[in-house]
Structure 1
Amino acid sequence: MLYLDNAATTPLRPEVLEAMMPYLTERFGNPSSHHTVGEDAADALADARARVARVLGLRASDIVFTSGGTEANNLAVKGIAIGAREHRGARHVVTTPIEHESILESVGYLERIHGFDATRVPVDHVGRVDPDAVARALRDDTALVSIGYANNEVGTVQDVAALAAVARERGVPVHIDAVQAAGWLPLSAAELGVDAISLAGHKLGAPKGTGVLGVRGRIPLEPLLHGGGQERGRRSGTEDVAGAVGLATALELAEADRAEASARVTVIRDRFVARVLTTVPTSELTGDPVHRLPGTASFTFAGTSGEAVLLELERRGVVSSSGSACAAGSDEPSHVLLAMGIAPEVAQTAVRFTFPHRLRQPLDAVADAVAASVSAVQSGG
């Protein structure tokens, strides 16, 4: 079985498990406890925080460990927006219609419960956001711009530096969802010009249930979880020390190999895309053909059902997906594809292939399996 759904999750890296194991066994202390066992855990947590901060180009005090990318995005959108309202009366947020549900639903929450206005800047037919459109959307009371660095369904990569620059001119904080970008694209908040960045460990070979929000200390952040005051009061709850160590280890490993892996997988991806487009007459590549994640190839196959194609592929030993795992089970066409102007009946034929960082072999056999699967569905089996 060949697993090509790495945007959904990745296997735990052996080095990560090894780094975590002491904190799952004999070094089990609560980092808030004031004795030697707790202090040992606190030291490990502080080390993990510093290691993550180095990759993100932030201070260690800027790092908030969370339960995953969804919580990190919720904390960023709600926490920064409500913090801005409390400090300067801001009541407006800017995002796009192709974001992960954790951003879109957080923005909707701000509208429904807290009376915020929201502008969802449209994207073009490949999912790119125009910085000028973001500039036009900004208001004097804009609290936050929140945009995905790379889309989780089609892989389109945004020009984050340009988008951040227009917001910075107006003094508006920028948050990016970098969950899919980590390991493939540069993550330095300083170089990107952003104020907050979300990550999820399980996209990098760390465990599920681990995440990070990096947010500059000068940005007011209203906590969503209250209680013990952990994470400098920004996220209460006893920290998962083993998870933090695992995430830091996975992030460092991915960053060390990033340039080489991105270049290598891009070549394999482009060969795979070309073969699918050549051998499947009804295939269309979705997302930006140039500005896209190295590890993502997504298609529509008009006249089929995406779910039926996936079943045929699995029969042939290939596991992939129809889009975001967070929307699995929904009969509705992808909101991302619809926002890009793709017709609903075509959007429902989408299939996404997402590759591991360690991919080294061409995927010609997978492309042939795609052609055979689409043909089987079109012919009724």
Structure 2
Amino acid sequence: MAEIYLDNAATTPMTQPVIDTLVENLHQNWGNASTGYSYGRESKRVLEDARHVIAQSINAEDDEIVFTSGGTESDNTAIIQTALSRQKLGKHIITTAIEHEAVLKPMKYLENLGFKVTYLPVDETGQISLADFDAALDDETILVSIMMGNNEVGSHLPIAEIGARLVDHQAWFHTDAVQAYGLLDIDVKRDHIDLLSTSAHKLNGPKMLGFLYRRQGINFPSYLKGGDQETKRRAGTENVPAIAAFAKAVEIDSPTEKATRQARYFDFKKQIVAGLTAAGIDFEVNGSMDPKNLNHVLNLWIKGISTYILQTNLDLDGIAVSGGSACTAGSLEPSHVLVAMFGKDSPRIEESIRVSFGALNTSDEINQFVTTLVKIIKRVKGEN
């Protein structure tokens, strides 16, 4: 039985060029980049070359890239350190109801410290209202944290419009770009972004690695206390081989490749929708089919069948999909994203699956997924 992996929003496999780069550097550049002798100098060179590649990918300066352990650390650092270092200017923060837990849990932590957090609602496409944002922004706002693209339904939030609104405001603008980095055109200067979080394993890089973009002039203490690595902005010895592999993944993911993947993934979405429609399946898309969204994510409401039954049966047939965010997959709580979009009493909450595509998926795999899903639905519903 051929296995088909369709949960790329949870993680992506490293591609062979990325693996080759990692292995090569494990052999050749294992020195500590903070040391002054030849082993360290060579590792430092590899580290800074990778930093340059990654900085160029978002139109940042090299010294604005801080390597971290991934999206969670980057989000926590940006949110908590901004709040604690700027609270004399105000204690109000704006975010959305559909952020990743790596943003929502720091927000709850800050609320317990006396900060006020506004959670912007979303409509049934997973989109916020700029009017709601304008109404929430005030003189006490010190941080705005809005995700670039949602990990469960793929909605692309209005980052450029928010950045423009904050140009003359004291609030710093942070965006969680963990799902968007590698798919969308990101320009931190154009969109007036102050802080941006990523994770390497979402674009075929290594796990436990990411970066935090910190615009020049954004100053707060290191979140981790220890050494003076990353010019005193993030303590801890850099994982040079993994960072080199991350840069290789970013090099492969050129602007042309991003556009190609977005187009291919949108074709996959249309292929699935057309196949289910032709088979007479009673379903709806959770969110929007707008091609400007993150096209690697397709969230489907399969009416009348529980998420658990769908996932289990697909897994038995060798197909991996998700019921929502991988970070909450073991939880009995419903998807907070779907609840925010449709309300806690909607049947969609317990009857939806997330399908997410990656660089290694093919049209034949998508056809096989549709065929298998249709068979499962008809078998569970007792249809011929």
TM over 0.5: yes
Are 2:299 and 1:298 aligned? yes
1:190 aligns to what SS in structure 2? Answer: coil
What runs of 5+ residues in structure 1 fail to find an aligned partner?
none
Q: Matched residue pairs, number?
A: 378
Distance across 1 between alignment mates of 2:85 and 2:252? 34
Return 274-283 or 14-23, whichever deviates more: 274-283
* Alignment partner, residue 366 of structure 1: 369
Distance across 2 between alignment mates of 1:270 and 1:212? 33
* Alignment partner, residue 228 of structure 1: 227
Distance across 2 between alignment mates of 1:103 and 1:126? 21
Distance across 2 between alignment mates of 1:234 and 1:108? 24
* Alignment partner, residue 259 of structure 1: 259
1:41 aligns to what SS in structure 2? Answer: helix
1:209 deviates by 0.6
Letter in structure 1 aligned against 2:202: K
After TM superposition, the score normalised by the length of structure 1 is: 0.94
1:145 aligns to what SS in structure 2? Answer: strand
Are 2:4 and 1:5 aligned? no
1:136 aligns to what SS in structure 2? Answer: helix
* Residues 80-125 of structure 1 deviation map (CA, whole Å, 9 limit, x = unaligned): 222322xx5331111001000000001111111x321100011111
After TM superposition, the score normalised by the length of structure 2 is: 0.93
* Alignment partner, residue 18 of structure 2: 16
1:187 aligns to what SS in structure 2? Answer: coil
Distance across 2 between alignment mates of 1:140 and 1:200? 32
* Residues 312-356 of structure 1 deviation map (CA, whole Å, 9 limit, x = unaligned): 112233211111100011111100000002435431111011011
Distance across 2 between alignment mates of 1:56 and 1:81? 25
Distance across 1 between alignment mates of 2:53 and 2:204? 16
1:192 aligns to what SS in structure 2? Answer: coil
* Alignment partner, residue 351 of structure 1: 353
* Residues 32-60 of structure 1 deviation map (CA, whole Å, 9 limit, x = unaligned): 11211111111111111111100011111
- State whether residues 150 and 156 of structure 1, in contact with CA within 8 Å, keep that contact through their aligned partners in structure 2: yes
* Residues 6-34 of structure 1 deviation map (CA, whole Å, 9 limit, x = unaligned): 11111111111222223312321111112
Are 2:276 and 1:276 aligned? yes
Are 2:337 and 1:336 aligned? yes
Letter in structure 2 aligned against 1:336: V
What runs of 5+ residues in structure 2 fail to find an aligned partner?
none
1:206 deviates by 0.8
* Alignment partner, residue 153 of structure 2: 154
Distance across 1 between alignment mates of 2:193 and 2:136? 18
Distance across 2 between alignment mates of 1:64 and 1:34? 21
* Alignment partner, residue 203 of structure 1: 202
Distance across 1 between alignment mates of 2:222 and 2:277? 47
1:158 deviates by 1.1
* Alignment partner, residue 219 of structure 1: 218
Distance across 1 between alignment mates of 2:164 and 2:35? 43
1:197 deviates by 1.2
- State whether residues 29 and 241 of structure 2, in contact with CA within 8 Å, keep that contact through their aligned partners in structure 1: no
Distance across 2 between alignment mates of 1:280 and 1:172? 50
* Alignment partner, residue 82 of structure 1: 84
Instruction: Rate the CA distance shift 1:28–1:271 in 2: closer, same or farther, 3 A.
Output: same
1:152 deviates by 0.4
Are 2:139 and 1:140 aligned? yes
Distance across 2 between alignment mates of 1:172 and 1:220? 13
* Alignment partner, residue 45 of structure 1: 47
| Percent of aligned positions that are identical | 34
* Alignment partner, residue 37 of structure 2: 35
Return 153-162 or 287-296, whichever deviates more: 287-296
Letter in structure 2 aligned against 1:255: S
* Alignment partner, residue 54 of structure 1: 56
Distance across 1 between alignment mates of 2:56 and 2:100? 26
1:131 deviates by 1.7
* Alignment partner, residue 104 of structure 1: 104
2:166 aligns to what SS in structure 1? Answer: helix
Distance across 2 between alignment mates of 1:297 and 1:273? 10
- State whether residues 265 and 359 of structure 1, in contact with CA within 8 Å, keep that contact through their aligned partners in structure 2: no
Distance across 2 between alignment mates of 1:292 and 1:375? 31
Distance across 1 between alignment mates of 2:216 and 2:90? 19
* Alignment partner, residue 67 of structure 2: 65
1:193 aligns to what SS in structure 2? Answer: coil
1:183 aligns to what SS in structure 2? Answer: coil
Distance across 1 between alignment mates of 2:131 and 2:168? 12
1:358 deviates by 4.2
1:360 deviates by 4.1
1:231 deviates by 1.2
- State whether residues 202 and 208 of structure 1, in contact with CA within 8 Å, keep that contact through their aligned partners in structure 2: yes
Moved over 6 A (4+): none
1:375 aligns to what SS in structure 2? Answer: helix
* Alignment partner, residue 313 of structure 2: 312
* Alignment partner, residue 327 of structure 1: 328
Distance across 1 between alignment mates of 2:27 and 2:137? 50
Letter in structure 2 aligned against 1:375: K
Instruction: Rate the CA distance shift 1:186–1:361 in 2: closer, same or farther, 3 A.
Output: same
Return 333-342 or 190-199, whichever deviates more: 190-199
Distance across 1 between alignment mates of 2:86 and 2:50? 29
Distance across 2 between alignment mates of 1:104 and 1:26? 40
Letter in structure 1 aligned against 2:39: V
Distance across 1 between alignment mates of 2:156 and 2:340? 16
- State whether residues 281 and 374 of structure 2, in contact with CA within 8 Å, keep that contact through their aligned partners in structure 1: no
